[in-house]
Amino acid sequence: MKLEDRVAIVTAAAGAGIGQAVARRFAEEGAQVVVSDAHARRAQDVAAKMSAEYGRPIPAFGVDVTQKDQVEAMVRATLERFGRVDILFNNAGINKLEPVWEMSDETWDLVLGVCLTGAFRVTRAVLPHMIAQRRGVIVSMASVAGWIASDAGQAHYCAAKAGVMAFTRSVAAECSRHGIRANAIAPGLIYNEFLSRIYPPDFFEKRKAEAPLGRLGEPADIANLALFLASDDSAYVTGEVFCVSGGAYVRG
């Protein structure tokens, strides 16, 4: 029970992929998890299932991380209920493929707003409380796209994820003296069933062949690293970005 009695907020926690896997991993290790997602009904459904599975009430909030008032209301409600926030997992993200010369301001603002500014807003909301308690951990989702240029209409996404990396290092530098650690995870392709509705089967076969470990990543691969970073096992780790790509990134 590495996170026993700690309070963890997980954004974008109600989908089929990384966020829900992390929320469940944290709950398995004893954390009081707060499920947040832009889809309020989906968040309520996931929280209800987790409450039944883990034998304790798990609150849920419909939160659009681009909306300051919604973010602050979630943090305020969490504090009212639990009295503290120990862990923040910034998972909210979005992408919409458009080449730079066709990209609208709206598309640019959407992707930067959710992926980067959203992480800033939730981090800003929890930091005063973490500083007051002299303890806290922030883990944010970056991507190998923050290192690797893309020719697939993802300039905004690459910029956002590179920004998450730089933001994470800055938070670590500013907040370490307050007992707060900040790290980021940069995954390659992490498979979940929803992706099969978007991409054809040969896409996944190609990506699998590119990975030296010979398989696609799974949400559990990220959740296990998130647990390490959120727990005292990583007490001397801050300001780092961890690549999880099955070795694919080191090839290119």
Active site residue 54: no
Handedness of CA 80, 87, 31, 134 (dihedral sign): negative
Residue 46 pLDDT greater than 50, yes or no = yes
What digits encode the pLDDT tens for the residues 183-241? 999 999 899 887 777 677 888 888 888 889 989 999 999 999 999 999 999 999 999 99
Confidence (pTM)? 0.95
pLDDT value at position 198?
A: 67
* Mean per-residue pLDDT over the chain, rounded: 95
CA distance 100 to 168: 26
Beta-strand ranges (E) seen in 52-193 are: 60-62, 87-90, 136-141, 180-187
What digits encode the pLDDT tens for the residues 56-90? 999 999 999 999 999 999 999 999 999 999 999 99
pLDDT value at position 251?
A: 56
User: Would you say 29 and 2 are in contact if contact means Cβ atoms under 8 Å apart?
Assistant: yes
Task: Locate 85 and state its tokens.
Answer: 């926030």
pLDDT value at position 211?
A: 85
**What architecture (CATH level 2) is domain 7-251?**
3-Layer(aba) Sandwich (3.40)
Residue 175 pLDDT greater than 80, yes or no = yes
Q: How many CB atoms lie under 10 A from the CB of residue 108?
A: 17
pLDDT value at position 152?
A: 80
Residue 252 pLDDT greater than 90, yes or no = no
Per annotation, catalytic residue among 54, 157, 191, 236: 157
User: Would you say 8 and 88 are in contact if contact means Cβ atoms under 8 Å apart?
Assistant: yes
What digits encode the pLDDT tens for the residues 116-135? 999 999 999 999 999 999 99
DSSP 182: E
What digits encode the pLDDT tens for the residues 143-167? 999 998 878 889 999 999 999 999 9
pLDDT value at position 193?
A: 83
